Amino acid sequence: MMRTRPLKVALLGCGVVGSEVARIMTTHADDLAARIGAPVELAGVAVRRPDRVREGIDKDLVTTDATALVKRGDLDVVVEVIGGIEPARTLITTAFEHGASVVSANKALLAQDGAALHATAEEHGKDLYYEAAVAGAIPLIRPLRESLAGDKINRVMGIVNGTTNFILDKMDSTGAGYQEALDEATALGYAEADPTADVEGFDAAAKAAILAGIAFHTRVRLDDVYREGMAEVTASDFASAKEMGCTIKLLAICERAADGESVTARVHPAMIPLSHPLASVREAYNAVFVESEAAGQLMFYGPGAGGAPTASAVLGDLVAVCRNKLAGATGPGESAYTRLPVSPMGEVVTRYHISLDVADKPGVLAQVATVFAEHGVSIDTVRQSGKDGEASLVVVTHRAADAALTGTVDALRKLDTVRGVASIMRVEGE
């Protein structure tokens, strides 16, 4: 039997995502009520610009006083889609204190202060759901913390930023340079006027912190995630990748150490074999590849951003939180019982593709090979080409620790026969 008294929902933010949440709540009201077991009512919308026309939203619901809205005391759920650290953090905490559960899409805040927010939610017996914070419409958070809760996850690797994937895909498919591909992404609306958060990996790093924390049942903050941007990726890097049967993606990689005693989380460009499922992810799509002991290999794929896709994830959380409210229960909170340390990047082991500009004369290859051997880095393949006294030397290593590779490159730069290090690229997915 359906409850007739509606569950009251407040919306913090009414931009691209918030307006879609409000629209779906209105147009799908009957379906949402049937799925929840009670109607949901939009009780208030906090915005910065109240005079802006918002189609389908009663202007009497609009307010600029977000604090007063979350302090009302009669709200069941607060949906936060304003982003940033403050005032979002204070508003979410205040919502818990005044009896409301929270649905958020705020990856930056969750990556920085997720533990504190979970603790406050638990203290007040409320839910904190955030499916929309990672990979937009793709169901990922709930499968990791619920569907795979009985399994042991060893690795999560994915493309979690649509802007960067669009840029790299264009560089790969058309031969465009980085700036040319970025300009196209900006013109099409995939990249912001200031694309720093995307192309320098900050956005993906926040998502990696969230994913690692859930996957490995430990606390991983944004500061724990190694981050490397993609502005230095060139057309020649893609040419080298193709010669190896690879392409290049900006990857978020979260791994459990082989001994199970630590984890790592990192974001950086990497070559990935064309045979790997992530290599075929095109345009602005996202995909996350999960490896677990019992389930094996799983892949989650779909649109990772945009108003309607992200709103879909928000509404999924809203339905779950409202169901919990009616049942007098709460869903899963933070799981950090393993307390595993996060290892520094220097301990990460992977393969490397190094391109060197060298003098074209006898003995150069032997000198370079000696440096690799002295630093304990094993060479898999070498390719050399050149003329007129200058040459290019491409070395692909077997798996080696990042610290060992760094020492190797530093030593190579000191050789008289090495003119420069053209590029260094990690090789993943093998």
List the catalytic residues. Answer: 207
Among 168, 162, 194, residue whose Cα is nearest residue 310: 162
Give the type of residue at 397.
T
Cα torsion at 193, 197, 198, 200 (round to 10°)? 120
DSSP line for 338-403: T-PPBPPGGG-EEEEEEEEEEE-STTHHHHHHHHHHHTT--EEEEEEEEETTEEEEEEEESSEEHH
Is residue 11 within 8 A of residue 44, CB to CB? The reply is yes
The sheet with strand 77-80 has its strands ordered as 62-63, 40-46, 7-12, 77-80, 101-104, 128-129
Q: How far apart are CA 253 and CA 263, in angstroms?
A: 10
User: CA-to-CA distance for 296 and 203, rounded, in angstroms?
Assistant: 28
C-alpha 390/C-alpha 88 separation (Å) is 56
HSE-up of 199 (CA within 13 Å, CB side)?
21
Coil, helix or strand at residue 49 = coil
Residue type, 204: A
DSSP, collapsed to helix, strand or coil, labels residue 157 as strand
Radius of gyration over alpha carbons of the chain, in Å? 24
Q: Give the Å distances, CA to CA, from 349 to 76, 245, 264, 271, 304.
A: 47, 21, 10, 15, 29
